[in-house]
Amino acid sequence: MGKANKERFFKSERVGNLMKGKLKLCGIYCAILLITIIMICFVMDIVYYKKPLSYNVKTTNKGFLVETDGQWKEFYVKGVNIGAALPGYWFTEFPEDKEVYLDWFKKIGEMSANSIRVYTLLPHQFYDALKEYNKKNKENPIWLFQEIWPDENLSDSNYLNSTYEENYKKEIRIVIDAVHGNARIQQRQGRAFGVYTTDISEYILGYMVGRELEPDEVTKTNEINHGYSFQGEYFSTGNDANPIEGWLAMNCDYLVSYEVEAYSNEHPVSIVSWPTLDPLEHDSEWNVQGNKQLEYNDKVSVDINQIDTESKLNSGFFGSYHIYPNYPDFMNNEDSYQKYYDEDGSFRYGGYLQEFIQEHTKYPALVAEFGVPTGMGNAHMNPDGLHHGGLTEEQQGEGIVRMMKTIKEEGYAGGLIFEWMDEWAKKTWMTEPFMIPYERHIFWHNLIDPEQNYGIMAMETIPPEKDEYQKNGYQTIKSIAMKHDSSYLYFTIKLARQIDFTKEELRIGIDTYNRQTGEMKFIPDSEIEAPFGMEFELVISSDKTAKLLVNPEYNITNNKFSSVYSALGIFEEMNMMINSERVTKDGQNIAGIYADCSTLNYGDFIDNSNYQWYLDGDNIYVRIPWNRLNFSDPSSMMVIDDSSVVEVLLRDKLKTTKSDGIMVSTLLYNKSNDNMIDLLSTEDPFVWSQWNDVKYKERLKQSYYIIKDYFQKLK
């Protein structure tokens, strides 16, 4: 090759290599550009692409439809409310063990329930467990009603306060994110927090907005915001609606809007209310001044019919109502309700359900709470026997089934039993002032408090197997023994023979504090004395009759709170007013009703929380709930002791003192001639150590099996 040719060759080779380099570089640039374009498109897709709206539940005029295998099928709600406060814990101290929830779901599923309701966001373990359970039970999953609980602390009693409202909207966002498995919630006081990664939205049957709103707060909100109405994408209110109805519509609208925008998903939504705020007028709910506005119940209303839904809403709207048979008083006192009959006779609860649903014309109505409690205390009497407490487990089950049958008969969307398990953290008006200090009442189970005993699963203390104290005798009364747990003080009286109740009577004097105060005699006009003062006397007068009597100055049902010295032998019964006197619209008086707090129910202690004493051969077994003996906190041995005049009973206001132990004096005597047969008294007190935790067991009440039998037949 010549020199010129070589130069041309190498020159062309350099040019070729240069071109190759440029092409290679260009290829890299193109690849980068392509990747960039793809990433931009991906981001743009995330930002701008809207997934098609999805929903698998919707409402009809009367109930729910659930999409199954591409078909919409009717769904009748039969379920339970879950309050998750275990013994020894407050409502916001939720279990964080997934196995706890899995066990509950298993039992609830075996009861043939198809749905549950929770009041607020629970820990992620709850939702993890629900997903796991439902994946294993695809044919019969448990559906969830998720309530979003508004704060109860309204500083100005105005639900439309902007700060209050923004906090509630924040809670709505948190709950929606959590049920979609997309929440990282910082630690917060009184609310669940943590990382939620389990999406259970496919099992949401409906969201619930609000709670049992207090009438005075509703009235105040309406007054402050007179003329307020709401217009949203999904909900609105018209000129006839009151501001609180506008507030509910606004939050329902915000909830649906947020879930659609964030997740392209929609579920039925509901407002929560109760008969206190129903739109009906009840002629039996007045007062002596003839002014309904002075009453607590029936003076202001929340009417779902004043809320409109817009065409954009697909999944629907419904009302959730807490309807119990024994409160408010108009449940018992409206004459028209007793004209309602079911297969068991007159049924006032059915009368109310019928009247209410006839006015609930636009949307389905769900009885989101109903039930009756077991236990030993009754806070409200019902003429049909569905009292606010004091029922056996069989009565509880039969009452719930009767109510559920009527709920279905009257065209409701279903019912959710209140509640799954007993919660010791609860209280009612008749016990709250007497659980002192209030902050410690979670450490003991108050069998007098109906609210603590609504569960169809008992949360029971485990009594000690052996007696903790014993005093032996040498005649007819062989021994007195005592023991305790978080629910009861137990007595066992062993006799040398059976009592002849035609002639004889057994009296057990109980001294709870201060040996120098209390009654020193067992019987009026008798010479038989006790070695120490007795605050209470348990009288067993037949093989089925026993009464717990009290020193008159220590009878809290008569607002007497301090034991005093007496040698008159006088004890009296405890009777508490539980249904207040009422006045009808036309001026007729309805008498108040008193509960017998002295008579002890007869029956053994095996699997039933309603019995307090029984005979077994020559032995007498007694268990008395702590609060019935005026213990304000047995976990620290505190008793009520306040000699001042107390006009209004409020939480933690009564004075207390520490008991120096229980002393017992037992007398067997002949009723016909007032002669003493035998007397055995303890010489030193029975004391116990303070406890700060509790031992308990779960037990399905007999009501569970009654409900299960009905649910299995209910479609």
Per-residue pLDDT tens for 530-585?
999 999 999 999 999 999 999 999 999 999 999 999 999 999 999 999 998 888 88
Q: What is the pLDDT of residue 50?
A: 65
Q: What is the pLDDT of residue 647?
A: 85
Q: What is the pLDDT of residues 293-321, one digit of tens each?
A: 767 888 899 999 999 999 999 999 999 99
Residue % of the chain over a pLDDT of 90: 85
Q: What is the pLDDT of residue 40?
A: 53
CB 588 within 8 A of CB 566: no
| pLDDT over 90 at 673, yes or no | no
| pLDDT over 60 at 23, yes or no | no
| pLDDT over 50 at 165, yes or no | yes
CA dist., res. 280 & res. 415, Å (int): 21
Order across the sheet with 529-534: list the strands: 529-534, 518-521, 565-566
Q: What is the pLDDT of residue 288?
A: 65
Work out the pLDDT band at 286, boundaries 50, 70, 90: confident
| pLDDT over 60 at 183, yes or no | yes
Residue whose entry in the numeric block shows the structure tokens 């023979």: 497
Enumerate long-range contacts of 648-654, CB under 8 Å, 24 or more apart: 649/433, 649/559, 650/433, 651/432, 651/433, 651/438, 652/436, 652/437, 652/438, 653/433, 654/433, 654/434, 654/436, 654/561
Q: What is the pLDDT of residues 120-134, one digit of tens each?
A: 999 999 999 999 999
CA dist., res. 139 & res. 548, Å (int): 53
* Cα–Cα nearest to 76, from 114, 119, 133: 114
Q: How many CB atoms lie within 10 A of CB 170?
A: 10
Q: What is the pLDDT of residue 37?
A: 52
Q: What is the pLDDT of residues 233-254, one digit of tens each?
A: 999 999 999 999 999 999 999 9
Work out the pLDDT band at 509, boundaries 50, 70, 90: very high
DSSP string, 201-225: GGGEEEEEE-----HHHHHHHHHHT
In angstroms, the first-to-last Cα distance of the chain is: 100
The contacts of residue 207 (CB under 8 Å, 6+ apart) are: 145, 146, 147, 148, 175, 255, 267, 268, 269, 270
CA dist., res. 540 & res. 436, Å (int): 30
Range with the lowest mean pLDDT among 42-46, 477-481, 601-605? Answer: 42-46
| pLDDT over 90 at 115, yes or no | yes
Q: What is the pLDDT of residue 32?
A: 60
Q: What is the pLDDT of residue 295?
A: 77
Q: How many CB atoms lie within 10 A of CB 137?
A: 13
Q: What is the pLDDT of residue 15?
A: 42
How confident is the model over 7-21, as a mean pLDDT?
A: 46
Range with the lowest mean pLDDT among 108-117, 170-179, 186-195, 582-591? Answer: 582-591
Tokens of 588: 């007729």
Judged by DSSP in three states, 75 sits in: strand
The contacts of residue 184 (CB under 8 Å, 6+ apart) are: 195, 196
Cis preceding-peptide flag for 87 (omega within 30 of 0): no
Q: What is the dihedral of CA 32, 34, 39, 42, to 10 degrees?
A: -170
Q: What is the dihedral of CA 488, 443, 82, 111, to 10 degrees?
A: -40
Q: What is the pTM of this model?
A: 0.91
Q: What is the pLDDT of residue 31?
A: 53
| pLDDT over 70 at 14, yes or no | no
Top-confidence residue, 209 or 44: 209
Length of the chain as a residue count: 715
| pLDDT over 60 at 39, yes or no | no
CA of residue 114 relative to chain centroid, distance: 19
Tokens of 501: 């109740």
Q: What is the DSSP letter of 600?
A: P
| CATH 3.20.20.80 boundaries in the chain | 64-421+456-460+698-713
Helix and strand numbers, DSSP H then E, in the chain: 10, 39
Q: What is the pLDDT of residue 34?
A: 53
CA dist., res. 687 & res. 660, Å (int): 7
Looking at CATH, the fold of the domain delimited by 64-421+456-460+698-713 is given as: TIM Barrel (3.20.20)
Q: What is the DSSP letter of 151?
A: P
Q: What is the pLDDT of residue 674?
A: 82
How confident is the model over 201-209, as a mean pLDDT?
A: 98
| pLDDT over 70 at 43, yes or no | no
Residue % of the chain over a pLDDT of 70: 92
Tokens of 597: 């707090």
Q: What is the pLDDT of residues 444-460, one digit of tens each?
A: 999 999 999 999 999 99
Q: What is the pLDDT of residues 255-264, one digit of tens each?
A: 999 999 999 9
Work out the pLDDT band at 587, boundaries 50, 70, 90: confident
Q: What is the pLDDT of residue 289?
A: 63
Order across the sheet with 656-658: list the strands: 631-633, 638-640, 656-658
Residue whose entry in the numeric block shows the structure tokens 């605050």: 535
| pLDDT over 70 at 21, yes or no | no
Q: What is the pLDDT of residue 4?
A: 45
How confident is the model over 6-29, as a mean pLDDT?
A: 48
Residue type at position 670: N
Q: What is the pLDDT of residue 74?
A: 97
| pLDDT over 50 at 707, yes or no | yes
User: If you average pLDDT over every residue of the chain, what do you get?
Assistant: 92
The contacts of residue 19 (CB under 8 Å, 6+ apart) are: none
Q: How many CB atoms lie within 10 A of CB 584?
A: 17
